[in-house]
Copies of this chain bind each other. A is one copy, B any other.
Amino acid sequence: MAYNLLKEKRGIIFGALNEQSIAWKVAERAVEEGAQIVLTNMAVSIRLGSIGELAKRCNAPIIEADATSVEDLERLVDESMAHFGGKIDFVLHSVGMSPNVRKGRAYEDLNYDFLSKTLDVSAVSFHKLLHTLFVKDALREWGSVVALTYLAAQRSVCGYSDMADAKALLESVARNFGERYGRHRNVRVNTVSQSPTATTAGMGVAGMQGMLAYADAMSPLGNASAEDCADYVVTLFSDLTRKVTMQNLYHDGGFSSVALSERVYDTFLKGLE
């Protein structure tokens, strides 16, 4: 069902790799809700994934950009504004990657060049993006920026390694740039802390299947899906949430507010036997 929530709005969506991607679902929902969008990703992700299909479906250009390169981001913003013929209303940052996780390095044994890469791709890229938008005054007043994050930023999750640190840094950037962007331009910046999700990136974390089952059993409403997340993000891009900023918003079926559920308790007891 669509409501025209994003009618006449224009946005940039980072990070749609394939149909499993949360960014993919957000792109589809944004267009359903009346928005025009630009899709962007790194060259390698464009090649490996199926973003071309999404672009067709959404009638959207794909602008290649490395989110760690200010130069690329500048070009992306310039070309997007040229495409739209004006300013931008919303942006989704769904960018994260850890070479340490990929190579299976334990958190207590990180490779520091990898860590640097993890932070740069997954968190500093968000500052660069906001900085570029800010300098170019590219966002319309009451525009909305959302970055995707995960609860490991607050509480330790086995297997999540240095992505936990990257997400903590990402959320800090959202708060701190949110203060400046709010004060100077009435733009809001928030993070959405999503349930573990069976995306290509998510499934790269060791033990993801078990973690999905655990999170589902702990969450009163079960895990939030990528589709659910897209619905929620659409509300954050809309004009109905204009005074929400600098927040980390849990979209997780309640997981973050539960210390022990009956289902986990029962399964844990069985496992003890």
Contacts and interface: CB of A to CB of B under 8 A. Distances in A.
Interface stretch (A14-22, A55-63, A207-215): A207-215
9 contacts: A155-B258, A164-B172, A165-B169, A168-B172, A183-B261, A210-B269, A210-B272, A264-B268, A270-B270
Interface of A: 1, 3-5, 70, 106-110, 112, 115-116, 119-120, 124, 127-128, 130-131, 134-135, 151-158, 164-165, 168-169, 171-173, 175-184, 186, 188, 195, 207, 210-211, 213-214, 217, 219-222, 224-225, 228-229, 231-232, 234-235, 238-247, 249-262, 264-272
Nearest to A4: B3
A243 B238 contact: no
A4 B134 CA distance: 34
A67 to B, nearest CB: 13
Given A3-B5, A265-B210, A270-B271, A221 B182 contact: yes
Given A107-B180, A180-B108, A186-B221, A257 B247 contact: yes
A250 B254 CA distance: 16
A183 B220 contact: yes
Q: 3 tightest A-B contacts by CB?
A: A182-B220, A271-B271, A168-B172
A214 to B, nearest CB: 5
